[in-house]
Structure 1
Amino acid sequence: MDVVATTRRDAAPNQEWVLMYRGGLSRSKIAALTGAAASTVGYHLRVACAADPALREAHEAAAGTGASRVTAQGRERMHQLVAMVRDTGRYPSRNAESTSERTLAVWLQRRREDARAGMLAPAFRDGLAVLPGWEGKPRAEADEARWQERLAALVAYRAAGHDWPRHKAVIVGEEHDLGVRLHAQRYKARRGELEIQKATALDNAVPGWRAGRRRGRRAGGRV
């Protein structure tokens, strides 16, 4: 078998992978057995499922997955996620200090992977539909993770007793980096271009971020 030909996306779907999937093997298991990238396997399976709507049901029956795998704990995680996003305006981060938030972040990542592979249980699909854009995209997820890390750094900077960071060229180091990022958020907010979720997260984590420093205050003072 020509490995290159069978893993190329324009050769989808790979019939061997389809048979393995029909037999109950997961995308990650197929990738591990064949040495192919999980994303490539997922693409082939999505093509196959689109061509044969009964394929997913056959897979779930063989694997014992599907609605039967939507456990009480899974439903609770989903409700916790929805509540968190509505309360904070942001999605959980895998870099959070809170164990419960990191747990939610991992759970969400798995559901996103299931959705991309076309294997998300209907109960989760319907329940998460109340959160627009919850599926995310690899690049978008990376951008969101970086944004959350920068927010955490700003929170820590302010908690250490520093005034709002400045972005002027004469400022260097951590203050300059944080100042540039904060200035960008203020600019977007003034133009109405800052996402509501991010604005809410900033409001909750660092109140007063929109106004920043007050004139006449010392550089080391708190606002």
Structure 2
Amino acid sequence: MFIAGLTAREIADLCKKNIATVHLHLKKREKYEPGFYIKHVEALEARGPHRVTTQWRRRMREAHEFYSTHGRLPLRAGDFSERSLATWIAEQRRLYDRNELPQAKISLLGALPGWNVNERTQENEMRWRKKLALFIAFVATEHRMPRYRTYATQEEHVLGVWLHNQHQRRAQNRLELWKLEALNKAVPGWRSRS
């Protein structure tokens, strides 16, 4: 494992042995097999700077436990531990967006729902879904589309502006497919005539 590029800490964790025991074994191995350590260094460098380390696995485990307990990803507004995890996930997301995250990490992070979605994007999507729910309720109650010019209430005006924006985004091919599908499913006649 050592000459395959695994660190002493990774070997100790995998074998469930004390790290001092692993170091002792590796020291003896170098004595009987000269060049053993050099092979390790070469293999470790080949793994690259973004390899899956023991510490990385530990942070991944902590993030998964947090998600299992709270039903959401950690936020930067939480306590120190939660902020630390949120920062770690944000760093993974940043590396992913820059195509610098190795496939092994991407696969392991796949068990953490929404890890690669930007927090601001998530908030915007939640806000959009709330507006959609209000829009559906308005249409069900009033039996018409909300207006943004000749509105009866301030709530209708807000929904009318929101709907107008959806029309414009659709016409400019800037409305995401999932939003278009959600609107079509919720209120089939929502589209403007353009």
Q: Shorter-normalised TM-score: what interval?
A: 0.3 to 0.5
Bigger relative contact order (CA 8 A; separation at least 6): 1
**Over alpha carbons, which structure has the higher Rg?**
2
